[in-house]
Structure 1
Amino acid sequence: MKCLSLVLLLFTFISCRKEAEPDNKMETIKYIERASGELKTENVPSDGMLKWLYSSATGKAALHLLFKRKIVSAIGGWYMNTPYSARRINDFVNEHQIDKKEFEIEDLSKFKSFNDFFYRKLKPSARKIGNQLVSPADGKILVFPTLNDVANFFVKGSEFTLQNFLHDKKLASKYNDGAMAIIRLAPPDYHRYHFPASGIASESVKINGHYFSVSPLALQKSLKIFCENKREHCTLSTEDYGDILIVDVGATMVGSIIQTYKTGSKVNKGDEKGYFAFGGSTLVLLFEKGNISFDDDLIENTKKGMETTVNMGEDIAVALNE
């Protein structure tokens, strides 16, 4: 069965490279680099495939019949754990201009597989932990002071509801009038994620789902993807920011969400929470109403329809009771 799925995967990939349908149109991904304020264009791995999967009739068929399924991500994950996959590391680092000096292991030949490199650790000095509520990961962020702002932002944002997302009516009602942040991790990003504040971390609750892409090329079509993908959530109980719900969302080729924290333990801001295996991934933070206020630049950029780059440990919000 795995061999058959792999053949189908390769066949659909070849097909998508050849196909050029008239309606196969998606915008390029623009974002704002926070440090400089510059508008930039993202280099998206496999953007041709994503456009085909989410914009063409045959692509959508392949998506629902094959690409969203666990077996495909399992095969992709298996390959990324093989020594053969390590051949991709040098080219990947060079193509995306990733700073090797930040790596705990700078010698790329020491990585045993692409996944070994993908969820690499950084030197402790590579990220500074801010004074306020911080980003839990490297990536590109969107912030929404209220959930109503979410529906207005996405093409089909109205299809996204907290109850569908969390599969828990009581938990959804707790955050229904609150704020939300979405941090998207692209494949070139550092893929370990951390706690945005100090507090007590609850057990991680798993929600089974599919493996759709969480690239903006896919999310332009519907935020409902977040309600269909595999995900896990835990509550971080804090003194300054109330109860923060941290949701880890898997995606295409992300066969594993690995939690490395100890359930019920006291954690410090910046402590590692877990990591994603190969693929694009997303973290969603939910806040109770009236507890936090996002930084002005992040709010303004989101209103303009733009993601903003953030590093793990970078301030993104303040407590309203300060």
Structure 2
Amino acid sequence: MATDERRRLGEWLPCEEKVIARFRETFADHARQRATTTKMNSVVEEFAAFIRDDPVVRMDFTRAIRQAREAGYTLGYSGIDEFIVLLDAMLTYAPPFSESSLIHCPLNALLDWPMVMPSGYALFRDPAFNAHLKKVLNVWSGFLSGPYSRMHLTTASPNGWFSKEADAKIGLDQFLCDPHKPYWGFSSWNHFFTREFKAGARPVACPDDNTTVVRACEASPYNVQYDVQLQDSFWIKSQPYSLLEMFTAKEAALAGRFVGGTVYQAYLSAFFYHRWHAPVSGTITNAYLVDGAYYSDADSEGEDPSGLNDSQGYITAVAARAVIVIDCDDPDIGEVACVFVGMAEVSSCMIEALPGQRVCKGEELGYFQYGGSTYCLIFRPGVIESFERRPPYDDYASPVQVNAHLCTAR
């Protein structure tokens, strides 16, 4: 299959490259016009100075842009300075709804091709580069968490998130909102993005049966792997899960308790629910955030433009993420680890359930504040008897509801 025909999972970006290229060009025109009247944000100026002053970063970024352009891709910018102008404009951008060409991860759209060029792989793994990206994304998240981000929280077609077209995709009547209030009661774009279900909208499967494990997110199944290892070659084509990297070396003892166990992974859709729920009842023993990369893809996959497709195993070891471990009430199940991975634009994994807190199956653990996302549940050896759905998975199917039956413990 040709690169530009690869399915982009979760509808975070349009399937057709020409649609994304048109967005880049249109946004570039807007950014250049905006730059004539608007002072550049200081966090973007700092990022630009870092790139300018670091010869290796500057070399890799310059070459990645050039390689993408020479490969025939339309980026909307021809060099680093032009990209910086677009990045600055992104800090006041809130995605509009689109029935056919939604750009839900606009910065991912700008970086789609440089990040999968030969020089891009090293660039987007660079810790200092990612640290500056995090600062930029945090400023953008601040805008999206404020009142000025609500310009598309309207009923107006075709861009309004409360329009009939959007409602057909989202099913707004399932969520806590009030059409009679301004912006339907949402204080910001992020408030809308992290919208909550009404009570009873997602009932918990077998709430009193500990052997029934439920889905922690509203997500589509991606992979199941058995007999996972403490360390493995997560960067190769098969992308086996590497527990030490997923949990981090600091938590080596914790990772070691899951060696030989099972990993289930699923990815979230742009249009659906982005909060996390407890897959089992028990006590939180660990809850921590891990800094990581935002746009790093596995080079073993070749030109995987979205990162939401073929690099999902790889990013569990390198991307920004939240790790929550629940010691199940059923000692035969024991600890269950939940790894919520931020992809692309995500700069905030928000943990709500902290160590020592007891949670019931189906109760909320936290949420993704913005962006494309994937998650894993990790079980200790010999715990899982069977999964409710088994590979191969249909990536055209709708996401499976949160709190629904995922698997059965022995």
The interval holding the TM-score normalised by the smaller chain is 0.7 to 0.9
SS of alignment partner, residue 375 of structure 2: strand
- Listed as ranges, the gaps of 5+ residues in structure 1 are 25-40
Amino acid at match of 1:103: F
Which of 123, 141, 159 aligns to 1:77? It is 141
Quote the Cα distance in structure 1 between the aligned partners of 2:101 and 2:408. Answer: 29
**Cα deviation, residue 155, structure 1:** 6.0
Q: Does 1:263 align with 2:322?
A: no
Alignment of 1:100-115 (within 5 A): 100-107=172-179, 108-115=183-190
Measured against aligned partners, the alpha-carbon deviations of 1:165-219 in whole angstroms (never above 9, x if no partner) come to 2123222221121111112223322111110111111231232223237999315
**Cα deviation, residue 305, structure 1:** 8.2
Which of 211, 221, 230 aligns to 1:141? It is 221
Q: Does 1:217 align with 2:306?
A: yes
After superposition, the Cα gap between the structure-2 partners of 1:148 and 1:203, relative to the gap in structure 1 and judged at 3 Å, is: closer
After superposition, the Cα gap between the structure-2 partners of 1:203 and 1:164, relative to the gap in structure 1 and judged at 3 Å, is: closer
**Cα deviation, residue 143, structure 1:** 3.8
Other-structure match for 2:391: 300
After superposition, the Cα gap between the structure-2 partners of 1:49 and 1:227, relative to the gap in structure 1 and judged at 3 Å, is: same
Quote the Cα distance in structure 2 between the aligned partners of 1:267 and 1:251. Answer: 26
1 or 2, which has the higher strand percentage?
1
After superposition, the Cα gap between the structure-2 partners of 1:59 and 1:179, relative to the gap in structure 1 and judged at 3 Å, is: same
Does the Cα contact within 8 Å between 1:154 and 1:222 map onto a contact in 2? no
Q: Does 1:203 align with 2:283?
A: no
Other-structure match for 1:319: 409
Amino acid at match of 1:144: V
Other-structure match for 1:164: 245
**Cα deviation, residue 295, structure 1:** 2.2
Does the Cα contact within 8 Å between 1:155 and 1:222 map onto a contact in 2? no
Larger CA deviation: 217-226 vs 110-119: 217-226
Does the Cα contact within 8 Å between 2:287 and 2:354 map onto a contact in 1? no
Quote the Cα distance in structure 2 between the aligned partners of 1:216 and 1:127. Answer: 33
TM-score by length of 1: 0.76
Quote the Cα distance in structure 2 between the aligned partners of 1:253 and 1:56. Answer: 19
After superposition, the Cα gap between the structure-2 partners of 1:153 and 1:128, relative to the gap in structure 1 and judged at 3 Å, is: farther
Amino acid at match of 1:4: E
Larger CA deviation: 112-121 vs 243-252: 243-252
Does the Cα contact within 8 Å between 2:387 and 2:406 map onto a contact in 1? yes
Amino acid at match of 1:187: A
After superposition, the Cα gap between the structure-2 partners of 1:306 and 1:181, relative to the gap in structure 1 and judged at 3 Å, is: farther
User: How much identity, in percent, do the aligned residues show?
Assistant: 23
Does the Cα contact within 8 Å between 2:266 and 2:375 map onto a contact in 1? yes
Quote the Cα distance in structure 2 between the aligned partners of 1:220 and 1:75. Answer: 29
Bigger relative contact order (CA 8 A; separation at least 6): 1
Measured against aligned partners, the alpha-carbon deviations of 1:110-132 in whole angstroms (never above 9, x if no partner) come to 21210011111110121121122
- Listed as ranges, the gaps of 5+ residues in structure 2 are 1-41, 50-60, 74-99, 207-211, 298-303
Amino acid at match of 1:190: Y
The count of residues paired between Structure 1 and Structure 2 equals 295
Quote the Cα distance in structure 2 between the aligned partners of 1:87 and 1:171. Answer: 45
SS of alignment partner, residue 151 of structure 2: helix
Quote the Cα distance in structure 2 between the aligned partners of 1:92 and 1:247. Answer: 33
After superposition, the Cα gap between the structure-2 partners of 1:143 and 1:225, relative to the gap in structure 1 and judged at 3 Å, is: closer
**Cα deviation, residue 282, structure 1:** 2.4
RMSD (Å) for aligned C-alpha atoms: 3.8
Amino acid at match of 2:147: P
After superposition, the Cα gap between the structure-2 partners of 1:105 and 1:274, relative to the gap in structure 1 and judged at 3 Å, is: same
